[in-house]
Every structure is written in C-alpha cells, then in structure tokens.
Structure 1
Amino acid sequence: MNIQSFVEQAKEKINSIRVEKKQSVAAVAILSTLLVGSGAALASDGGHDGKHDEGENHTVTQSSINYTGPIDLVTIAELSEKDSWFEDQSFTLEGYIIKQVNEKTFLFTDGVDEIPVNIRVDKVESFSDKDKVRITGEYEHEFFSSAHFDVKQISLL
C-alpha cells in the first residue's frame, strides 16, 4: 500500500465520520424537539391521557380545598439548595410581606431572610405587613437577574 492510497482511505473515513456526526446531531435535535413538545402537551392536558372512568371526578378547584393539616415548608435559605434547574418545583413558605416594591412585587420575610416575591394571583385578600401569610409558588434564580419567588397561591394565616 502506498502513501497516496493510505491518504485516500483516511479521507474517506474522515468524511464518513463527519456524516455520522451530522446524522447524530440531527437525531438528537429531533428527539429533543419531540420530548419538549410531548412535555408541553402533557402540561397543557394536566398530565391526563384523556380517558375517564365511569364515576371518576377530575374537577378540583383551589377555592374548595381548605386543608388545615401539616405541610412541607421551606425557608428562604433552603430555596436555592432545593431548587432544580431541570424541573419546575413548587415551594411553600410562611412569613410576612413587609413592603410593596411596585404593583406586583413585594418583599417577603420568613423572619430570618428576605426575598422579592411577584404576586400574580387573581384573587388576593387584603393584608398588611402584620398579617402572617403562607405563599406557594416557584423560586426563580437566573444567571443575569436576582432571585425572586413567583407566588401562585397566597393564604392569610
């Protein structure tokens, strides 16, 4: 085997690897798109497969739930430890909303630490800085912005 044929074989192998790499990248992109799309479809459907058994009731409204037993609470300090960049998680905190920053942003304290909270709930009862509240929502901590808590539900205690 001469050097020129060896070089030609090497070029063919390199081109073959490039084609396989492009096919692999395309396959990963397609699979990622399918996974994201199916996750969005499940989220918009509430995770149900559309099948309902006879007599099964799937309608539950937040306003009808009036649970008074123990729940899992976190502190502001624990939020960053428990938060995951890979999935949305809901957290519940108890404390006081001590200051209004703008129309929907307030300053919340658990008695030790403080964090800005964005309240985007349609029905909010009146409350003051003296009222203890329980807030449930998502902790947001992004690279180029300060950490905050998006409130999905608020209850006076």
Structure 2
Amino acid sequence: MKSITHSLLVAGAISLSSFTLADYTGPGAGGEPTSVAAINKAPKDDMYVVLEGKLLQKKKHETYIFSDGTGEIPVEIDDRLMPAQNINEKSVIEIRGEVDAGVMETPEIDVKEIRVIKP
C-alpha cells in the first residue's frame, strides 16, 4: 500500500512540474521580431517588438534615433537601462520595447531592455 501511495505521489509531482514548465511560444509571446520599416508603415500602439540595429544619434535626454537598416525611428531609453559599456553609432544592439503610436504622431519605441551585440 505504501508503494502505491508513493508511486501516485511521485507521478503527481512529475506531472505538475512538467505542467508548470510549459510556456506559450506562439505569436505575442515575447516580442515580435519586426523591422523599423514595418513599424513606420503600420504602427500598432503598445505592440511589443524586438529590433536589432544601431543608435545613430542622440536627439535629447533619453531620446535617440535607431536604425535597423530598413528605416529610422526615435527610441526612448531610460538612463538606468543603458549598458555599462560605451556604445556609439557603429555598435550593434538589440532593443526590446513597446511601440508608442499616437494619432497623427511619429511612432517611437519605448525601450524596456537593451543588449549590446557588437560594441
């Protein structure tokens, strides 16, 4: 009887642990890889995006011009999110964030995470 109870407990624990490790991996699961050209063409407010490219220039405090080679878009990067290492207009970075697209306004990206790929 003890072995049956023990087996049931182990089986239950295994099934629960595999269930909790499962995660949704479909559309919208962690940022849609897209392009600046696609965002500029049809901006969707609050759409979470992942972009790889370069910061071309600093426009003002926490606002930069970003390009992925398909176009340019303003990005807002909080000072606390900037990497410890220096980056310049030749550095390749990955940004993750949300599109901020108001009516009759130029879309921009509110960056939530930045990662240096090539300094």
RMSD: 2.4
Give the alignment partner of residue 66 of structure 2, picking from 88, 104, 108. 108
Cα distance in 1 between the residues matched to 2:105 and 2:99: 13
Change (3 A) 1:149 1:72: closer
**Structure 2 unaligned regions, length at least 5:** 1-15, 17-30
Show the 5 A alignment for 1:1-157.
72-79=32-39, 83-85=43-45, 88-120=46-78, 122-125=80-83, 126-157=86-117
Considering Cα pairs closer than 8 Å and 6+ residues apart, tell me whether 1 or 2 has the greater RCO.
2
Check the 8 A contact 2:81/2:114 in 1, yes or no.
Answer: no
Higher strand share: 2
Task: Return the offset for 1:112.
Answer: 2.1
Cα distance in 2 between the residues matched to 1:82 and 1:146: 11
**Structure 1 unaligned regions, length at least 5:** 1-52, 54-70
Give the alignment's TM-score, normalised by structure 2: 0.63
Give the alignment's TM-score, normalised by structure 1: 0.49
CA deviation vs aligned residue, 1:48-89 (integer Å, no higher than 9, x gap): xxxxx9xxxxxxxxxxxxxxxxx852101222567545xx33
Q: How many correspondences in the alignment? A: 87
- In terms of Rg, which structure is larger? 1
Structure 2 SS opposite 1:95:
strand
